[in-house]
Structure 1
Amino acid sequence: MTRHAIRLFALATCLLAAPAAMAQDTDIGENVMVELNTVKTGDNACALTFLVINGHAKPIEKAVYETVLFNAEGQVDRLTLFDFGTLPPGRPRVRQFSVPGLTCDNLSRVLINGAHACTAPELDDTACSTGLEVNSRTEIEVIG
């Protein structure tokens, strides 16, 4: 097994164990929870890794959030759309977004500005936004 494959296996093992435990310990109700889990600068980009959990009893087929990134001075750096894709009920999912031209140390805050798109035929139209819970396990503040 290559070093890269070993790292991927170790990461997958941790991600499978930790989010499941977190999902059991966190009562998010019938809401969506978005957590900024890690950030990593590389190749002239900042990679933001999110843990997301759909607390509804039914699936969300597509969740796209308008996201505002603030620089170290607290000024808006950019608005972007993060497509979290399909969110099955009660199952943690990890999504990673690479933001070109941004270093993570120049990122101070992330604002989840609202749901740009939310496709959930069996749920209310506001399933992705009403009661949205946000948090961060990094030094970067997440608000919404």
Structure 2
Amino acid sequence: MSHSRLAALVALPVLLAQGAVAETEAKTAPAPAGLQVELNAAETIDANCKLTFLITNTLDTPLEKAVYETVLFDQNGTVDRLTLFDFGTLPVGRPRVRQFVVPQTTCENLGRILFNGAQTCAGEGVDAGTCESDLGLTSRTEIEVLG
């Protein structure tokens, strides 16, 4: 066996171990402080769209109330409507599921949801802009979520 091939075989377990450590660190890295909002599901029921969100408060304090002005866009990028999503009380570090029914539109018609701003962000010692500046948005659906 050549020296270079032997060196490559010896180095392979070290490289694999380094990759496994990096992957483990990425999986266990704490979420950034703020509110993590995931559009988890979208289901059309009787010509209405039911949106299911998973939201986690990773701030240092619970929120008494978090209400967002959202803009719903259709598949063509046209504004369908502005509405408010009230996520209610959000304890620290405990995921919560919230559902909202959007009347008279199917989920297949929705293309994007824009979190336009926080109408209410209330909690002891919470600055008014916290719900906007520390907002992480993701989607597990075909509907894009942005803010």
Same-fold call, TM cutoff 0.5? yes
Residues of 1 paired with 2:40 and 2:30: CA distance?
Answer: 18
Post-superposition CA distance 1:34-91 (Å, at most 9, x none): 1100000012210000000111111000000000000011100000000000000011
Give the alignment partner of residue 135 of structure 1, picking from 126, 131, 138: 138
Q: Which letter does structure 2 place at the counterpart of 1:71?
A: D
In structure 1, runs of 5+ residues without a counterpart are 1-23
Post-superposition CA distance 1:107-129 (Å, at most 9, x none): 00010111011111222222211
Residues of 1 paired with 2:90 and 2:28: CA distance?
Answer: 19
Q: Which residue of 2 aligns with 1:5?
A: none
Q: Which residue of 2 aligns with 1:125?
A: 128
2:51 counterpart of 1:31:
no
Figure out how many residues of one structure are paired with residues of the other and give that number. 121
TM-score (norm 2): 0.78
**Cα distance, 1:28 vs structure 2:** 2.6
Runs of 4 or more, structure 1, over 4 Å off, are: none
Where does 1:101-116 land on structure 2 (aligned, <5 Å)? 101-116=104-119
Q: Which letter does structure 2 place at the counterpart of 1:42?
A: I
Residues of 1 paired with 2:52 and 2:28: CA distance?
Answer: 20
Residue identity over aligned pairs, in percent, reads 56
Summarize the Cα distance change of 1:42–1:127 in structure 2 as closer, same or farther, 3 Å threshold. same
**Cα distance, 1:29 vs structure 2:** 2.1
Residues of 1 paired with 2:29 and 2:66: CA distance?
Answer: 21
Aligned with 1:121: secondary structure? Answer: coil
CA radius of gyration, larger in: 2
Give the alignment partner of residue 90 of structure 1, picking from 90, 93, 100: 93
Relative to total residues, which structure has the larger helix share, 1 or 2? 2
In structure 2, runs of 5+ residues without a counterpart are 1-26
Residues of 2 paired with 1:82 and 1:136: CA distance?
Answer: 16
